[in-house]
Chains A and B, each alone.
Chain A
Amino acid sequence: MKKIVKVFVLLILISSLAGCWDATDLEELLIVYGLGIDISNDNPDQYFFTIGFPTIIPEAPEKKHEFSTEAPSLGRAKNNLQQKVYRQISYDNIRVIIFSEEVAKQGIMVHIDSMLREPLFRGTTRFAVAIDRAVDMLTMEPPVSLFISTFLFDSIEQNYEATLVPITTLRNFSHEYYADGIEPAMPFICYGADKTELNVGCVALFQGDKMIEYFSGDNSRAFMLLRGEIHGGIYTFELMDGFVSINLKGGSGKIKTELINGELHIYHDIFINCVLSEHTPKHEMLSANSIKALETQLEEKIKKSLRNALDILQNELKNDNIGYGKYVKANHPEYFDGESWNDQFAKAIIHVNPTVRIRALGVTP
C-alpha cells in the first residue's frame, strides 16, 4: 500500500515537470525598446502611441519596426497595438519613453500610472521630451546605431556624463513628482542642423507633471551644476580675448539654509574639479598665481551662469527644479510649506558660490 502511495505521489510530482508547456519563448515575444507618446493629429482629444521594437526573426526584411495607434490612454493603446501584431507584446524592457513637447505640457502622469502599476515595468526606464513629435523621432534612422531607442538611451547617458542633462527614470520622476520641495526635470531632445541630427543637450523643466520650460546651452549645464550632478564634459569660456576650456572631473555641492529676520537664505557652495584642456590666451600657466587667477576668473564666469539659471527658475518660472525645498524642509520644518514651496522659493535669497580647482594643466606649461 505504501509503495502504491509513493508511486502515486511521484506521478503527481512528475506532472509538475510539464508546468512549462504553455511558456512563451523569447522569440515569440515582441519586446518593445522604445515608446513614443504624441497628441493625435486627427483627434486632439486622443493620444498617438508608437512602439519601436527589433524584429528578431532573421528572415524579416527590416531589423526593426514601429507600430502606432490612437488611443485615449496607454492601457487602451496596449490593447490596440496587441491587435496589430501576431506576437505577444512585452513592455518589460522598454529602454526609453519619449513624450512630445505638447504631451509633456498637458501633463504626463496620466500615462505613468499604467507604468507604475505594472510590476515588471522597469523602474529604470528613461524618460525624455522631444521638441517635435515623438513618432518622428522613433521612426528616424539614427546615424550610428541600429535602434533609435538604444541611440537615445546611450546619448542620454553620454550627456549625463558630460554634465548636460539629468537621467530621469520612471522611478525618480515619480519621486520628484510626489516629494515636496523639488519639481521634476528630464532631458529635452532637439534636432541639430536638420532632422537627421539629434541634440540631447537640453533640460525640460516640469511643474508637477507638466512641462513649463526648457534649458539649453549654458543654462542646462548650470542646472546640472546646481543639482550637484557634476561628472565630466568640456566647459568653454571666453576669457582674456581667447578661449579657455576646462574638462570637468567631478565635484559636489553643499547646501545650507538659514532664516534671518523671517527671510530664507540659501547658501549653495559648488565645488568643481577640473583639468585645463584649452587655453588660447598666450599666458604661462605653470605658476600657482596664474592658476589661482584663472580659477578666480572661471568662478566668476560660472557664478554668472549659475545666477542666470537661478534667476529664470526663481523669478520667471517660480519653480524649484533644483530641490532646495528638501533642505529647507529638513532644516526649517516650521517654515517649509509643501503646498506653496515654489512661492517661498521665489522669495528666497540664494547665495551661490562656485569653487573651481584646476588639478592639472595638461602637458604644456
Chain B
Amino acid sequence: MYQKYKNGEISAVQSFIIILSMSIGAGVLGLARVVSEVSQQDAWISVFINGLFISFIMIVIVYTISRFPQYNFLQYTSYLLSKPLGYLVSIAYSVYAVLVAAVVIRFLSEMVYTWLLPNTPIYIANFIIVITVVYMNKSGITALARFAEALAFLLVPFALLIFVGLPEASFINLRPIGGSGLVPILKGTIPSFFSFAGYEALLVYYPYVSDKQRPIMKYSVSALLMITIFYTAAVAAQIALYGPQEIQQVLYPSINYLTAVDFPIIERTEIFFTIFWTFTVLVTVGIQYMAGCIVLQNIFVTRKTSFFVYLLSPVVYLLSLYPQNTAEVVDYGDKVGKLNIFFGLLLPFILFIMYFIKGRKNHYEENS
C-alpha cells in the first residue's frame, strides 16, 4: 500500500510555484526564434494558442489524478493502464526526467560558459550544477518545494526584463497580425509546445500535496496562464524588436534582446538576466530530477528518494557532458523535448480516457 507522505509533502501553493518554475526554464531562450521560423510575425499568437491548449491539458491532468488522491504515479498508471504498462510508463518517465534534467543542465552550463565564465571548462560547470541539484534534492520534496518557493520571487524581476528592449521595439514588425496564415500559426504551436514542457511533473507531484481540499485545479491552470502571458509578451516584444527575419540570426533572442539599449545603473543587462535565469533553471532541473527520483522510489519502494538522488547524479552528469558543441546541445534538446509529446500530451489524455472506461466505476464503488 502507498505510504502517504513518506517522502515529505508540499502545499497546494507550492505545487502552483512548482508548475510556474518548472515551465519557465531553458525553453524561453530560443522560443521566439524557433516559433517565428514557422509562424513569422504571428509567433506570439502560436505561443498564446499553445498556452491555452496546455492549460486545457492541465485541467485534464488535475481532473484525472484528483480522482486518485491516495495513489502515487506508479499506482494510478498501473491501475488505469494495467500493471505491466504502469511499470513501463513509470520507468520511461524516470528515464525521461533524467534526460530532461541532463539537457537542461547542459543548456545552463552553455549559458554560463558563453556569458559568465568563458574560461571555465564545461565539465566543471556541470559538476557544480549537479552537486547543487543533489544538495537541493537530498532532503526530499519538502525542502525542494521550499527552495522553489524562495526563488519564485526572482521570477518578478525576470518578467520585468521584458520591458527593457521596448524603447527600441517597433510594433509594425508584428503586422500584419494573422498575416502568416492559420496553418503556419497552428504549426507554430508545435515548437512552442516544447518550451512549456515540465508542467506534466504535476502527474508525479500531485499525490504529495498535503492540502488537496484547496483549489489545485485553479492554481495549476492559473500557473499555466501566467506562463502563457509571460511567454506571449516576451515573444511579441522580441519580434517587435527584431522582426521575423532578423530573429532567425539570433541564437538566444531572450538574452540578446537585453543588449538593445544601454540601461542606466546596470551596465550589462544581459548578465543581470542570466543571473536570474540561472536560479530559475536550477529550480527547473531540481524539480525534474526529483520527479524522476520519486517515480523510481515508487517502483522500487525505498524509504527515501535520497538514495536515487545520489545514485542518478553521475548518470545525469555524464549525460550532460555528452553533446560535443552548441549545435548538438540544441539538437539533443529538440529530441528530448519531443518525448514531451507522450508525457505531456498523450499520457494525460490516455489516463483521462482510461479513467472513464475503467477507473470511474471502480472509484465510485470504493467511495460508496
Binding site for B on A (CB under 8 A): 22, 116, 119-120, 122-124, 171-172, 174-175, 177-180, 326-327, 329-331, 333
Check B260 for interface membership: any CB of A closer than 8 A.
yes
Given contacts A123-B259, A326-B173, whether A175 and B179 have CB atoms under 8 Å apart is no
What mask results when residues 113 to 126 of chain B are scored 1 for a CB within 8 Å of chain A, else 0? 01100010000000
Q: Which residue of the partner chain, among A22, A124, A329, A331, contacts B260 with CB atoms under 8 Å?
A: A124
Which B255-278 residues sit within 8 Å CB-CB of chain A? 256, 259-262, 268, 270
Most B CB contacts (10 A, CB to CB) among A120, A123, A326 go to A123
A331 to B175, CA, bound (A): 8
Q: How far is the CB of B282 from chain A (nearest CB, A)?
A: 16
Residues of chain B from 295 to 311 with CB closer than 8 A to chain A in the complex: none
CB–CB B168/A327 < 8 A: no
Whether B115 contacts A119 by the Cβ 8 Å rule is yes
Contact B175 A123, beta carbon cutoff 8 Å: no
Minimum CB–CB distance for A154 against chain B, Å: 14
Q: How far is the CB of B256 from chain A (nearest CB, A)?
A: 7
The complex places the Cα of A330 from the Cα of B256 at a distance, in Å, of: 25
Q: Name which residue of chain B comes closest to A120, CB basis.
A: B115
**B359 is an interface residue with CB less than 8 A from chain A:** no
B249 within 8 A of A: yes
Per DSSP, chain B at the interface is helix
Is the pair A171, B168 in contact by a Cβ cutoff of 8 Å? Answer: yes
- Proximity string of chain B (237-265) to chain A, C-beta cutoff 8 Å, 1 when within and 0 when not: 00001110110110000001001111000
Q: Which residues of A contact B114 (CB under 8 A)?
A: 119
**Complex contact A178–B243 (CB within 8 A):** yes
CA distance A179 to B172 in the complex (A): 12
B243 adjacent to A179 (CB under 8 Å): yes
Chain A neighbourhood of B119, CB < 8 A:
22
A-B contact pairs, 14 of them (CB 8 A): A22-B119, A119-B115, A119-B270, A122-B259, A171-B259, A175-B242, A175-B246, A177-B246, A178-B248, A178-B249, A179-B246, A327-B172, A330-B176, A333-B176
B168-194, CB under 8 A of A: which get 1 and which 0? 101011011001000000000000000
Binary interface profile of B, 216-253, with partner A (CB < 8 Å = 1, else 0)? 00000000000000000000000001110110110000
CB distance from A2 to the nearest CB of B (A): 14
Instruction: Name B131's closest neighbour in chain A (CB-CB).
Output: A12
B126: min CB distance to chain A, Å: 15
Task: Count chain B residues whose beta carbon lies closer than 8 angstroms to a beta carbon of A.
Answer: 24
Across the interface, do A174 and B249 meet the contact criterion of CB distance under 8 Å? yes
A120 to B256, CA, bound (A): 10
Bound CA–CA A327/B262 (angstroms): 28
* Residues of B that sit less than 8 Å from A by CB: 114-115, 119, 168, 170, 172-173, 175-176, 179, 241-243, 245-246, 248-249, 256, 259-262, 268, 270
A121 nearest in chain B by CB position: B259
Give A255's nearest chain B residue, CB to CB: B172
CB-contact partner of B256 in A123, A172, A178, A327, under 8 A:
A123
CB distance from B321 to the nearest CB of A (A): 20
Give Cα distance in the complex from A179 to B259, angstroms: 18
Nearest CB of chain A from residue B83's CB, rounded to whole Å:
40
Q: What residues on B are CB-neighbors of A329 within 8 Å?
A: 175-176
> A333 vs B180: C-alpha distance in the bound complex, in angstroms?
9
Contact among A116, A122, A333 for B179, CB-based, below 8 A: A333
> Which A residues touch B246, using CB under 8 A?
174-175, 177-179
**Neighbouring B residues of A178 by C-beta, 8 Å:** 243, 245-246, 248-249
Q: Identify 10 new A-B residue pairs, CB closer than 8 A, beyond the known A124-B261, A124-B262, A178-B246.
A: A175-B243, A175-B246, A177-B246, A178-B245, A179-B173, A179-B243, A179-B245, A327-B172, A330-B176, A330-B179
Given A175-B243, A178-B245, does the pair A330, B260 have CB atoms closer than 8 Å? no
Q: In the complex, what distance in Å separates the CA atom of A116 from the CA atom of B256?
A: 10
8 shortest interchain CB distances as A-B pairs: A330-B175, A123-B259, A178-B246, A179-B243, A178-B245, A326-B172, A333-B179, A124-B262
| Cα–Cα, bound, A174→B249 (Å) | 9
Instruction: Give B131 Cβ to nearest chain A Cβ, in Å.
Output: 9
Q: Contacts A124-B261, A178-B249 known; A172 to B115 CB distance under 8 Å?
A: no
Most buried by B among A22, A177, A178: A178
Distance to closest chain B CB from A257 (angstroms): 11
Residues of A within 8 A of B245 (CB): 178-180
Query: Taking CB as reference atom, which chain A residue is nearest B174?
Result: A330
B128 to chain A, nearest CB (A): 8
A175 — which chain B residues lie within 8 A by C-beta?
241-243, 246
Residues of B within 8 A of A119 (CB): 114-115, 270
- Smallest CB gap from B175: residue in A: A330
Chain B residues contacting A123 (CB-CB under 8 Å) are 256, 259-260
Give the nearest-CB partner of B242 in chain A.
A175
Residues on A with beta carbons closer than 8 Å to the beta carbon of B175:
329-331
Return the chain B residue nearest A169 by Cβ.
B260
Residues of A within 8 A of B176 (CB): 329-331, 333
